Amino acid sequence: MVLKLFRSKKFTKRTLILLLILIIPAFVLWGVGNLGSGPKPIGKIDGKAVYPRDLEKSAEGIKAQILFSHGNNFNVFSQILKNRVLINYMAWERLILLNASRGKSPKIKNQDVISFISQHPIFQRNGVFDPAVYNYVLRNALSTDPRRFEELIRENLAIHFFRQSLLDGIEVSDEEVFEEFGKVSDKVTLSYVFIDKDSFLNEVSVNTEEAKTYYDANKDEFFDEAKVEVDCIEIPFQDAAERNSAIGKLKESLPGLVKNSAEFKKTAAEYGLTYAAPRPFSQGEIPDGLTFFKDFQIEAFRLEEGEISSPLFSSKDDAGTVYVLHKIKNIPPAQQDFSAVRENILKLLKEEKSIALAKKEADALYEEMTEKGMSLQQTAKKLDQKILKTESISSSGYIENIGPANTVVLTARETGEGNIMPPAVLKNGVLLGVVEEIVSAEESDFDQQKEALKKQLLDAKQMDRIKAWFDKNKSRIKLNGPLENI
């Protein structure tokens, strides 16, 4: 669920990596349902009920950690804080780690908290801790006070020590780093044939019963994305004079719109403003009939239900549209009925069966090549194909008309120069080829990349260790439903 969430949000890859490594580097696929409303428990940890207020406090702890990690980069900091869904999932996992840390982390003394806070540059002026700066940052960035913030930091430090205990003994050897360097930097050249899955589509069939079995076993994959419903007023302008006129209209009408937000449409009509009510939309989806832009979507998801936005200009130029949004409601992710996804599942299963047939044929040809001496030329003739050849490509490269080269290049490196490569199963079919050449990366480049690669490998091992801990302790944890709208 969380990995799907990541893919649906507009986060940079670098930001996500920093979040995963610096804050809580493990996300687990928890079951989902319907939380409903009211102060009902959102789940249990070691048999103890967890309520929305507990999650809210934990979210404050997450925001405090984000402040330490990204407080000097306001754009990243504010972008993360606006993503309530991500914050909620991180807060849930923080609760799990905090519970586990009790009795297993050293007692965090007041002096430990003071030392940690006072040494952070974000609270310093001219290299020295400044109480005025401290209070200003807490008030304006987190809307909290020192006492509450310091208690959150105490908890975060306990979690940190517990995490470190889980990560004891993890090391990365120079040999591992050099092997990783080869994987990302070596280049290979291949001669190959490609068995396309589409050539088997007419040979496979999938029935509704198979599709239903797949649906029942993978229901967590089939959710409509979270959406928002807003209505708005819009004032287009074609030049500077019209822009100024629009600003004047908003100065006159905005107080009334805010005061009478429950009667947004009626109030807009009273001021002679153009009203629009786009259909509900998800992140990245463009509503029909509107001049859509990034700030429109960000604000639509940020607003609380019933809240009115500040004026949003589609352009800084003298031509564009200014909007004022009224948030109607959040629409949480909803389980899709089998009927809604039936055709997609049938297509998916048919493609899987086609890939399996392509792999079966590739395996048979590979056996003939390795055990009976059949050449690649003879293999190509059997398939009624011409032999194709790649350029010298690395694992981050791309094979024309086939796709990313990562799997193929790594398989080729393991196979060795001059050898027949085992069939490489790719998204659209199976590649079978001969490794013509392997060009090892320059060792001088290794010295430049060594430390960065070592850190990447260490981060990956740490994330695997913590994920393994979550998997081991999953039975102690129960989440009653999705966290999107708490």
CATH of the domain at 390: 3.10.50
Is residue 123 included in any domain, yes or no? yes
User: Is residue 24 pLDDT above 60, yes or no?
Assistant: no
Same domain, 272 and 305: yes
Classify residue 372: in a domain, yes or no. yes
Is 444 contained in some domain?
no
Do the domain assignments include residue 179?
Answer: no
pLDDT at 4: 38
Q: Checking DSSP bridges between strand 334-335 and strand 429-439, what pairing results, if any?
A: unpaired
pLDDT of residue 486: 63
Report phi then psi at 271, rounded to 5.
-95, 5
Same domain, 23 and 117: yes
Q: Has residue 228 got a pLDDT over 80?
A: yes
Strand pairing category for 312-313 and 320-331? antiparallel
In a shared domain, residues 202 and 273 = no
User: Percentage of the chain with pLDDT > 70?
Assistant: 90
Q: How confident is the model at residue 244 (pLDDT cuts 50, 70, 90)?
A: very high
Question: What pLDDT, on a 0 to 100 scale, did the predictor assign at position 39?
Answer: 65
Q: How is residue 72 written in tokens?
A: 């000097």
Both 346 and 325 in a single domain? no
The mean pLDDT of 167-193, rounded to a whole number, is: 94
- Whether residue 114 is found in the same domain as residue 16: yes
CATH code at position 148: 1.10.4030
Residue 326 CB contacts under 8 Å (≥ 6 apart), including other chains: 230, 231, 232, 257, 261, 264, 306, 307, 308, 309
Q: Which residues contact 190 (CB under 8 A, 6 or more apart)?
A: 389, 390, 408, 412, 421, 433, 434, 435, 436
**For the residues 164-193, what does the mean pLDDT come to?**
94
In Å, how far are 85, 282, 421 from 191, measured between CA atoms?
A: 47, 45, 10
Co-location of 249 and 374 in the same domain: no
The answer as to whether 271 is a domain residue is: yes
Sign of CA dihedral 227, 4, 474, 168: negative
Q: Give dist(CA 109, CA 378) in Å, integer.
A: 75
Q: Compute the average pLDDT of residues 161-170.
A: 93
Mean pLDDT of 191-209: 95
In this predicted structure, the answer to whether residue 215 has a pLDDT above a threshold of 80 is yes
Find how far residue 115's CA is from the centre of its chain.
Answer: 34
Number of Cβ within a 10 Å radius of residue 350: 18
321 inside domain = yes
Q: Which of 453, 482, 214 is nearest to 342 (CA)?
A: 214
Residues 62 and 147 occupy one common structural domain: yes
Q: What is the number of domains present in the chain?
A: 3
Mark whether 22 and 150 lie in a shared domain. Answer: yes
**Whether residues 297 and 434 fall in one domain:** no
* pLDDT tens per residue across span 313-348: 988 888 999 999 999 998 877 788 999 999 999 999
pLDDT at 38 over 50: no
Between the alpha carbon of residue 143 and those of residues 64, 75, 131, 321, the distances in Å are: 11, 18, 16, 33
- CATH number of the domain enclosing 269: 3.10.50.40
275, 309, 331 - which closes a domain: 331
For residue 19, is pLDDT > 90? no
* Max mean pLDDT range (84-98, 226-240, 413-427): 413-427
Higher pLDDT pick, 12 / 397: 397
87-138 confidence digits (pLDDT tens): 888 999 999 999 999 988 899 999 999 999 999 998 999 889 999 999 998 9
Residues 37 and 149 in one domain: yes
Is 445 within the bounds of a domain? no
Range in 6-15, 294-303, 429-438 with the lowest mean pLDDT: 6-15
* Domain extent for 391: 187-212+341-439
204: which 2 tokens? 């496979």
Predicted confidence at residue 72, as pLDDT, reads 67
Same domain, 326 and 463: no
35, part of any domain = yes
Q: What is the pLDDT of residue 299?
A: 87
